[in-house]
Amino acid sequence: SQRGRGRNCTGDMKIEMDKLVKAGANGIIIDLRNNGGGSLADAIEMGGLFIPRGPIVQVKDMRGIEVYADQDNDVNYNGPIVILTNMYSASASEILAAALQDYGRAVIVGSKSTFGKGTVQTFVPLEGGMSEVFPRGYGQLKVTIQKFYRINGGTTQLKGVEPDVVLPDVYDGIEQGEKEMDFHLAYDKIPAADYKPFNPYKEAQRKKSIELSKKRLQKNPYYSLVQQRAKELAAVRTSYTYSLNMMKFEEQEAALRAQDKPLRDYKNRSICDTVMALDVDMQGVKGDAIKEAQKLDWLKRYREDAGMDEAVRILFDWSGK
C-alpha cells in the first residue's frame, strides 16, 4: 500500500495480516510495547482495518472538537486480537489501543498503563528581525496545540490506556510517563463520540478469556519473581546512593545485576516455545546471512517473552482453537 510514493505502517500491517490469515491464523497479536507512536493518519487507518466505518479518535484544539473516523466500510480481519502494551507505548500507539479497546474489538494486555502522551505540539519560529547576533531568528518555540481524546470521551493524556489484563512489570514501583514531566496537562473528558461496540467474534468468550488470564497470572511463577523485583527496585530508587569511587561503583552495579539473575534464568528458558516464523518469511531471508540471523534472534526473543506467551494463551481461550 502506498501513501504518495512512500510506505506506511497501515499498508505494511495489511500485507503481514493477509499472510497470517492465508496461513490459517486463529488470532492476531499486535505488539505495541516500546512503540512511541508516529503518524496519526496511520493510527486511524490501522484501526479501520478491524472495524467498519466509524470514529477512531477525537481531537480538541482552540477551534473546538473534531472527530477523526475510518471512512472505509470494509473489515479486513474480524477474528480475535490481542494488543500488547507497556509504559513506553505512547501517542499514536495509545490511540490505536484505546480505539480497539473502546469498540471491544481487542483485549489489551500490558503494564498498568501506557505512557499518557495525549497532546500534539508544533514549532513556532521566533523571528530575529535585523539582529546582528541572531540574523536568522531566535530559534523556535515548541507549543502544545491539540489534545487527543478516546471515542469514549476520556483523554489519553496522563492516564494513558489501562489494559484489560495487567502484566506485572519490574518498574511498577517507579512512577514513569507523562505524569512525571513538569507542567503536564491534566486528564479530562469530553462527550463521547457516536459509536457502537463492534465485537464480531465470540464476545462472551472474549470476556471469559480476560478472567481466565487474570486467574492464570496469579499463579504464574515468572510474574511472582517480577513483582518481587519491582519491590526491590522501588526500594533502591528511594534509598540508593551511588559511590563516586569507580571500583565501589562497579561492585554496586554487579550486586544489582546479581539480583536480576532469577529473572534472567527464567527468561533464558523457552517460555513461549510455540512461536515460529511463517515459511514465506523464512524463505524471504534465505541466502542472506544477516537477515536470517536477525529473524532467528527475533524468534528467540519472543520465545523467551512471558508477555507474548500470555497473549497467545488469551487468543487460544478466546478463539477456542
Q: Annotated catalytic sites, by residue?
A: 91, 102, 117
Nearest alpha carbon to residue 107 among 23, 1, 189, 211: 211
Distance CA 135, CA 180 (A): 37
Amino acid identity, position 194? D
Is residue 188 within 8 A of residue 116, CB to CB? The reply is no
Task: To the nearest 10°, report the CA torsion of 128, 129, 135, 138.
Answer: 0
Q: Three cell numbers at 106?
A: 481487542
Distance CA 243, CA 259 (A): 19
Angle between helices 203-218 and 306-319 (to 10 degrees): 140
**Count of other CB atoms within 10 angstroms of residue 66:** 12
DSSP letter string over 47-64?
HHTSSSSEEEEEEEETTE
On the CB side of 70, CA atoms within 13 Å amount to: 25
